[in-house]
Amino acid sequence: MQAARQIEIFIRRPRPHPVQEKIIDNARRFNVVCAGRRGGKTKLGLIRSTPAMLDRRLPIAYFAPTYKMMLKFWRAAVRLYQPAIVESSKQDYWFAVQGGGSFQMWSLDSIDSARGNNYAHAIIDEAAAARNLEYAWTEVIRPMLSDFRGSADFLSTPKGLNYFHSVYGFGDDPALSDWANFRYPTSANPYIPADEIEAARRELPDLVFRQEYLAEFLQGTGAVFRNITACLHSDKDTPADHFEHSLVAGIDWGQVEDFTACSIGCETCKKEVEIDRFNKIDWHFQRERISLLLNKWNVRNALVEINSMGGPNFEELQRAGLPVIGFTTTAASKSELIQSLSLTFEKEEMRFMDEPVALHELEAYEAKRNAITGRIKYNAPEGFHDDTVIARALMDRMRNTGFGVYL
C-alpha cells in the first residue's frame, strides 16, 4: 500500500473532459468509443490505463494499427509514467512502474507476435483503421484477457461499416451485458476551438465532415470515396476477353517503404482488369514487371507518375518503346486527380477489382484541412499507403481524358 501511495505522489493523472468523464463513469468490461477527430481518444486511453497500472498494479497493453501509430502512444505513456518507471525496454516497447504495474505496446500489423501474453486491460486505438481488427480481437487479444478477466477499450474515429462498426453494435445488444458503446463529436472536446470545427464544416466534403468530425458511421463510404461497394467486381478477365478493346493504365512508383502499383482498365468495358502492387525489388525488375503487364494487356497508353525516381523510370520505359505519358504530382494536381476518381465512384462510371488491400486503401483515404493555409490535403492515414489509390486515379484520368499532360 505504501508503494501505491508513493506512486501517486509523483504521477499527475490526466484530467478528463466532461464527455470522457461520463464514459469513465459508465464504462463496462468492454467499451467501444467512437469519437470525432481530435476528440481526445489517446488521452482517454491514458486515463483509462491508470487504475490498472497504479491502483491494481497489473499488466496492460496498447494496440495500434501500425508501428508508427504505436510510437506516438509509447512516447505519451512514457511521459506520463516516467517518474515511477523502474524498468523499461525500448526494444520491446515495455515498461514497469514502482509497485508492479506494467505497460506493453503492440502493432496490429504483427499481432501474432503478441500471443502468449496475459493482460488485465487492453487499449485498441484507431481500431477502425486496422485491416485485421476482427482477427486480432477474436484470435489474439480477447484470449489474452481471460487470466485476469480483463477489460478492453476500442477507441476510434469511424471508417465506414467495418468490424469496428460491428463491435460498436455489441453495446446495443441487451444480451451482451459486458459491452458498452459511446459516441461523441469533435466538438465535445473543449480544447478544440469552435471556429476551427466550423471552418472544417464549410470546407470539407459533407461526408468527410460527418465521418471525421461528427463521428457518424456512413454506409458504403470511406473518408473520401463513397459508393465503393457498388463499383466492385470479382471477374477474372483475360486479355482474350478484351481483344480489340482500348486499355489504359496508371502507374505510381515506390521501392522500399512505399509500393509500386499499376492499375489497368478497359475503356471499352469501363472496368479495371488487373491491379498489381509490389516493393522491395530494384528499379530494373520493377520496370520489367511493368513492361510485362502493359504488353500483356496491349495497353494503348499508361499515365505514369514522374516525381522523384518516377522520372528516370519513366524515361527508361519510353526508351523501351512503351506507350507511357508523364504526370507530375503536385498538391493541386493530386487534388484534381483524387476528386475525379471520387466522382467516378459516385457516378458508378467504372467498375474496379474487389482486391482487399486496394479496397482498404480506398476506405482509409483521408481529406484534411490545413489549419494555416485552409487547403484540403488528400492522403492515406499516417502509417498506411495510397499507392493503389493513386494508380487507379491515374488510370481513370487516362480513361477520362484520353491523354495525360505534364503538370
Domain CATH code at residue 316:
3.30.420.240
The label of the residue with cell 480544447 reads 191
Question: 140 φ, ψ to 5°?
Answer: -125, -60
Of 293, 255, 254, 274, give the one whose Cα is nearest residue 387. Answer: 254
Beta strands at 179-184 and 30-35: parallel, antiparallel or unpaired: parallel
pLDDT of residue 267: 94
User: Are 158 and 259 in the same domain?
Assistant: no
What does the pLDDT read at residue 10? 63
What pLDDT was estimated at residue 24?
92
Structural domain includes residue 221: no
**Same-domain status, 342 and 390:** yes
pLDDT value at residue 287: 92
Residues 301 and 355 in one domain: yes
What is the domain extent for residue 264? Answer: 229-401
Strands (E), 172-292: 179-184, 232-233, 247-252, 260-266, 271-278
Are 386 and 283 in a shared domain?
A: yes
Q: What is the rounded CA–CA span in Å between residue 152 and residue 298?
A: 53
Counting the structural domains of the chain, the total is 2
Answer whether residue 372 is part of any domain: yes
With a cut of 70, list the residues of the chain below it in pLDDT: 1-11, 219-223, 255-257, 369-374, 382-383, 402-407
Same domain, 190 and 89: yes
pLDDT at 39: 86
Domain boundary among 194, 212, 244: 194
Q: What are phi and psi of 263, to 5 degrees?
A: -115, 130
Residues 21, 133 share a domain: yes
Domain annotation covers residue 208: no
Does any domain span residue 209? no
The pLDDT, as a whole number, for residue 5 is 47
Is residue 222 assigned to a domain?
A: no
Q: Residue-wise over 174-199: b if at least 16 C-beta within 10 A, else e?
A: eeeeebbbbbbbbebbeebeeeebee
Q: What is the pLDDT of residue 218?
A: 80
What local confidence, expressed as pLDDT, does residue 372 receive? 63
Picking from 151, 169, 194, the residue at the C-terminal end of a domain is 194
